[in-house]
Amino acid sequence: MSDSPAASRSPIPSPILPGATLGVLGSGQLGRMFTIAARRLGYRVHIYSPDSDTPAGQVGDVERVAAYEDLASVREFASGVDLVTFEFENVPSATSQAAAERVPVRPAGSVLHITQQRLREKTFLKEHGFPVTPFRRIATLEELTAAARDLGLPAMLKTASFGYDGKGQQRLTPQSDLAAAFTALGGAEGIFEAFVTFEREISVVAARSPDGSFAAFPVFENAHHQQILDVTVAPARIPEVVAAEAVRITQGILEALDAVGLITVEMFLTPSHQILVNELAPRTHNSGHLTIDACVTCQFEQQLRAVCGLPLGSVALRQPAAMANLLGDLWIEAGGVPDWSAALSDPAVKLHLYGKTEPRAGRKMGHLTATASTAEEAILRVREARDRLVPSRVRR
């Protein structure tokens, strides 16, 4: 792994203290929970996105509605805040560059540039010595055919840009029609990733400050359903030596990026306990939501501390916890509003809703968190609480 670029760093800037105004590019639930944490510490928060009445905008001081491509509006927005950060990575590079003309942007646009495009991300990781699955760039059907021959099937074919929660992803098998799969890319640049046999999926959410201070939350263990995160538990049920290696890899990645802020590293753990880096997210992460109720410092406050140059908070886990996503499917299955009282009949369960008025299949509407004396008990409690939201599930 490469050494961190310490020699190229600028002098450590002064911290941005409570009372300042922070700008957030993006207005979803991650921005909402960041804003709640920031306001608790005495900051004002301005939200910028193309949408109105958004989860973040509902709790921010100002909701600026304009296109990310409207660079004049971006510059005006940035001129009214002391710092700009992100709540999701699919913001055009030109947007972050325009904001950086006015105020500090953290993480920097260079980090965003790498992490918002799978090929750049995987290439960066590979070139810096981090473990990744074999991959190929796909721009033609011939390149796809060669990748399938050389790296084997099954495999994953993904669009290189603008993919999350399984969007833009296809699982290829020896029976797949490669021509149809290539057509499904819709002309977008693709990436072919060799299939990984893994024991479980884990993630590390970690923060890095302008002075290089680093702190990582306990490793999270993640279970997905239809390529969307379903349940997360902490601590991950893995050997301590493996957890330590996951954190070591994460710290190396943040240093290689010279990142300031919060970065999430998603990983695969193979049956032989080899760690492979899957994806990076330059922001808070769905798997870190349980930190709100289970850790001394939640991931959203930690993001704020990191980007503002404040001392990082304790990442200690008070007790084992599990988080279950609440998708719009629950509203559909319940035939209306889920039974919140039933879910909260367990006093160890916490409910977090995101202020979205239109439930749709696959749309993240909120989450539940349960704490317990063991990871297994926390998983059981949060799953049972989610089942109680739909009366027909309880009667089964």
Domains of the chain: 17-103 (3.40.50.20), 134-194 (3.30.1490.20), 200-394 (3.30.470.20)
Task: Name every residue whose Cβ is closer than 8 Å to that of residue 306 and which is 6 or more positions away in sequence.
Answer: 106, 207, 208, 209, 260, 261, 262, 312
Question: pLDDT (tens digit, 9 = 90+) per residue, 201-256?
Answer: 999 999 999 999 999 999 999 999 988 999 999 999 999 999 999 999 999 999 99
Question: pLDDT (tens digit, 9 = 90+) per residue, 101-112?
Answer: 999 999 999 999
Q: Give kind and range of the element (H or E) at residue 383.
A: helix 375-387
pLDDT band at 166 (very low <50, low <70, confident <90, very high): low
Q: What pLDDT, on a 0 to 100 scale, did the predictor assign at position 6?
A: 44
Question: pLDDT (tens digit, 9 = 90+) per residue, 82-103?
Answer: 999 999 888 998 999 999 999 9
What average pLDDT does the structure give for the chain? Answer: 95
**% of the chain exceeding 90 in pLDDT:** 91
Question: pLDDT (tens digit, 9 = 90+) per residue, 30-50?
Answer: 999 999 999 999 999 999 999
What are the distances in angstroms from CA 57 to CA 26, 45, 203, 314?
9, 9, 28, 28
Please state the rounded mean pLDDT for residues 151-175. Answer: 86
Q: What pLDDT, on a 0 to 100 scale, did the predictor assign at position 394?
A: 75
How far apart are alpha carbons 172 and 9 in whole angstroms?
43
- Res. 119: pLDDT tops 70: yes
**pTM for this structure?**
0.94
Least confident of 126-140, 151-165, 206-220: 151-165
Question: pLDDT (tens digit, 9 = 90+) per residue, 305-341?
Answer: 999 999 999 999 999 999 999 999 999 999 999 999 9
SS3 (DSSP) at 52: coil
Between 393 and 25, name the one with better pLDDT.
25
- Res. 9: pLDDT tops 60: no
